[in-house]
Amino acid sequence: ARWCEGCVVRSVEKQGEDKAVWMVAYLEGFLVTGNQEYAAVARQTIDYILHEMTDGKGGFHSTEDADSEGVEGKFYVWTPAEIGAVLGEKQAERFCHVYDVSESGNFEGQNILNLPRPIEQSAKLRDWELGELNAELADSRKKLFAVREKRVRPGKDDKILVSWNSLMIDALARAAGVLAVPQYYDAAARAARFLLTDLRDDNGRLLHCWRHGKAKLAAYLDDYAYLTCALVRLYEASFDEVWIDEAVALADVMLGHFADQQEGGFFFTADDHEVMIARNKDFHDSSVPSGNSMAATALLRLGTLCGRADYLDAARGTLEMSRDLMMKSPTAAGQMLVAANLLIGPTYEIVFVGPGAASEEGSGIQQAATRFRQRFLPNCVLAGRPADGEDHYQSPHLAALFQGKRPLGTADTTVYVCKDFSCQAPVNGEEAVAKVLARLSS
């Protein structure tokens, strides 16, 4: 992040896929703990991505280099003297104490700004008033940022990859709901539309990468799996059912061209990809989740929403192939364990039906759904549709989920909690919905 509060940054190369994974971790940490510092890190990371790493077409660039002017970290590092010249003696002394800036340095004789301890702890150690310190630090960061912007920026790898962009779309869509910032959804949706429009071949299949107006290379499993997950998340953030149609189209390509129909799981390349010596399968997470673990996750979430047994069966087969890996090396299979948790469940469909446009900001449906988005509910998928849906596009893939679901009254949004399309009694009203949330959260 630009100012990565809560993180000790030891590398100044910035990679897009790392940022997306971190954002999700901080968002979920915030939901679980309520720690506002985690929310702040997510916001600051998003600020950096939208300000520095977003292409004019809407996609996200891959990496920003560590070097500028031939020196590693030159754009980002500081000396106490440089900070003092900007902030003045007193303000600089407090800033340097909090952000680990010293004469000896923490990175090759200079300093990367980081927090070795929470700001609250720094305030307590020096007997500083916390509110006053936070306000002063915010002012200091703004001043230093303005000075840093005059430096020569590091080089940038500005290619756009479907897989890495999909991770960022997923993270931004989550952040829009968790942090209640609609602009994050707008950025995610714009990037998704760019991928679905500009990174296609003549047959409508995905291409892997794009740079300066040219897309190339047939997409891999990671591209399809990550983007399917992201599209489901975009739907849950907006209830725009077009995203479900797009997700189903990608999932069908995964099943038709990447799935191992004999042994289960998915190959990294499609069956009509260029000829390879061998088609491999990747189940181990690295800096990002494996293609198979994300495929299982995507198919479970999408299959739950759409009632697609073929999606759920393919996910189950992938998990069965990964059983030994999850048992023997769980740290190499984190995302697969997430998928296993979805399969074992119980995983619920939370359906909102009520007055107003489902995708309209501030509508009753969106207000009700936001309460659920702002709770840690890993084993739930969300769906929403207005009771009078004449002006709302209705995907045929969601027909079974919404069948027979009507609002209880005319004023409040009605909430259905279902499992395998079998629903508990619907509820509406503040008190009843609060009880549902408490039950699901526990």
Question: Which amino acid is located at 410 in the chain?
Answer: T
Cα distance between residue 166 and residue 399, in whole Å: 26
Q: What is the pLDDT of residue 240?
A: 96
Q: 265: alpha, beta or left, given left = phi > 0 and alpha = psi -120 to 50?
A: left
As a 3-state breakdown, the chain gives helix, strand, coil percent values, each rounded to 5, of: 50, 10, 35
Q: Helix H segments across 199-348?
A: 221-238, 242-253, 291-306, 309-321, 323-328, 334-344
Given a contact cutoff of 8 angstroms between Cβ atoms, the answer to whether 207 and 215 are in contact is yes
Series of mean pLDDT values for 10-residue runs along the chain (442 residues): 36 62 95 94 93 94 80 87 95 96 92 92 94 95 93 87 97 97 98 98 96 96 98 97 98 97 94 83 93 98 97 97 96 96 95 75 84 96 86 93 88 91 92 93 86
Q: What is the pLDDT of residue 389?
A: 67
Secondary structure class of 353 (helix, strand, coil): strand
Q: What is the pLDDT of residue 359?
A: 56
Q: What is the pLDDT of residue 153?
A: 83
Tokens read off for 1: 């992040």
Question: Which amino acid is located at 147 in the chain?
Answer: V
Given a contact cutoff of 8 angstroms between Cβ atoms, the answer to whether 219 and 159 are in contact is no
CA torsion, ordered 42, 47, 50, 52, to nearest 10 deg? -120
This prediction's pTM: 0.89
Instruction: State phi, psi for 22 to the nearest 5 degrees.
Output: -60, -40
Q: What is the pLDDT of residue 66?
A: 72
Can you tell me which residue has the tokens 């910032």? 181
- Residue closest to 290 by CA, chosen among 238, 324, 339: 339
Cα distance between residue 149 and residue 139, in whole Å: 16
Q: 69: alpha, beta or left, given left = phi > 0 and alpha = psi -120 to 50?
A: left
Which residues are paired to 298 by β-bridges?
Answer: none
Secondary structure class of 340 (helix, strand, coil): helix
